[in-house]
Amino acid sequence: MAQAYSAGLTVTESITLRKERILPLKGQVLVKKGDKVKAQDLVAQTLLPGKVVPFNLSNKLGVPADQVKNYVRVTEGNDIKKGDVIAQTKGIFGLFKNTVKSPITGEIENISKITGQMLLREPRIPVQIKAFIDGIIVDIIPEEGVVIENRSAYVQGIFGIGGETYGKIKILVKNPQDTINKDDIDESCKGMICVCGALVDYDTIKKAQQVGVSALITGGIDDNDLKKLLGYNIGVAITGHEDIGISIICTEGFGNIKMAENTFNLLKKFEGKDASCHGKTQIRAGVMRPEIIVSLDFKEDELSVEAPKSSTLEIGGRIRIIRQPNFGEIGKITALPEELTMVESETLVRILEAQLDNGEKIVIPRANVEVIEE
């Protein structure tokens, strides 16, 4: 077998990027096809339904469920304010009336004659969607959102936390294997996307939070530090919703791992440029990886979305090792034997032979490498 499929992360200096920016519920699209937008421009907005508050009217009135309708003073869809009378019994000779007032401001969603329950809904919550990248609106999905295209320098991370954020890229280390400490973060980092080398520790992240750094890009993070930072252990990798005032993107994984040279060099090349990034990660069911995007100047005729291709292992191809031993090392494939081979753990697997950049020759399970696209 001369080649085999192997998933990898995308790191590229120029790519036609296509981003769907979709509202969580139907709403209003604020731009039109052909518009040029900046990353932080609003493109769509909607109002999310407010919280539903069930209210047992039958109990409050002290009447059977099927009679509730006789005493209700409002109808479904009515706006109400907290304290408004929503139902009242007739009382005896006009006295001893039982009055029920609304516990919230909002609207009447539903009045049930079967259960005697009233559903009240709190006011709607506005949600706005930004463009996230500089680009051109190439498609409108009516009432739902837009599709934006541009040319971008693009880096996919392996894992991250925190939502979408923006800032200029600032490199804090000389080499991708270097690490920083909290003293390397100062006021000049405020609002920046800081590239930190092989590891950021807890104290450095805390300092970055204090200073107001937009995002930290790092080769690795220690799991203990992550747990301390979030206050809980991430059980299943669905992230991006953390509200910690900063986004963190790991390009390699957990532990002290040198950032891949091409990732580091690419970020370095764009130092000082505006970038968008997020830490949203979802490993299963609709995979999502963190992204760092530098929007480039482009002409519209340059936009052509390349057909997705699967990375393949080929002799001479560059690979990155993604598990111990030699985790993080880069090498070149020298052979792709077909037979199953026993590795140290006695597992019989399909392997490849490679020469690492430091000259060492290795045999490694094919499952433990990523293809580096060049």
Partner 1 sequence: MDQELRRIIATDCGSTTTKAILIEYVDGEFRQTVRGEAPTTVEAPLNDVTRGVINAVTEMQELARIKYNNPDILLTDGDKLIIPREGDKGADAYVSTSSAGGGLQMMVTGVVAKMTGESAERAALGAGAIVMDLIASNDKRPNYTKIERIRQLRPDMILMAGGVDGGTTKHVAEMAELVGAANPRPRLGSSYKLPIIYAGNVDAREIIKETLGEKVGLIITDNLRPSLESENLGPARDKIHDIFLEHVMQQAPGYNKLMKWTVGPINGKLENISIMPTPAAVGNIMQTIARRNDIEVLGVDIGGATTDVFSVFTPEHIFNRTVSANLGMSYSISNVLATAGIKDIIRWVPFPIDESELLNMIKNKMIRPTTIPQKLEELVLEQAIAKEALRYAFIQHKEFAVALKGAQRQRGIDEAFSQSTSGDTVVNMMTLDLLVGSGGVLSHAPRRHQGVMMMIDAFLPEGITRLAVDSIFMMPHLGVLAEISEKAATEVFDKDCIIYLGSCVAPVGKCKPGKIALSVEIKLPDGTLFQEDIPFGEVRLLPCPLGQKAKAILKPKSGLDIGEGKNQEITAELHGGVVGIVLDTRGRQPFVIPEDSEERVKVLKKWMRELKAYPESILN
Least distance from partner 1 to the Cβ atom of residue 221, Å: 9
Distance in angstroms (rounded) separating the CA atoms of residues 62 and 80:
22
Per residue, what are the HEC states of 221-253? ECHHHHHHHHCCCCCCCEECCCCCCCEEEEEEE
Residue type, 370: E
Phi, psi of 211 (to 5 degrees): -70, -25
183, 48 in Cβ contact below 8 A?
no
> Nearer Cβ to partner 1, position 335 or 367?
367
Exposure of 234 in the CB half-sphere (CA atoms within 13 A): 23
> Nearer Cβ to partner 1, position 76 or 300?
76
**Residue whose C-alpha is closest to residue 133's, from 165, 160, 159:** 165
> Nearer Cβ to partner 1, position 50 or 191?
50
Interface contacts to partner 1, rule CB under 8 A: 1, 4-7, 49, 51-54, 65, 109-110, 112, 114-115, 117, 119, 158-159, 220, 222-224, 226, 233-237, 253-255, 281, 283-287, 308-310, 322-325, 327, 338, 342-349, 364-365, 367-368
Least distance from partner 1 to the Cβ atom of residue 211, Å: 27
> Nearer Cβ to partner 1, position 98 or 117?
117
Least distance from partner 1 to the Cβ atom of residue 324, Å: 6
Least distance from partner 1 to the Cβ atom of residue 233, Å: 4
Least distance from partner 1 to the Cβ atom of residue 271, Å: 27
Omega before residue 325 within 30° of 0, cis = yes
> Nearer Cβ to partner 1, position 245 or 325?
325
**Residue whose C-alpha is closest to residue 175's, from 219, 132, 207, 127:** 219
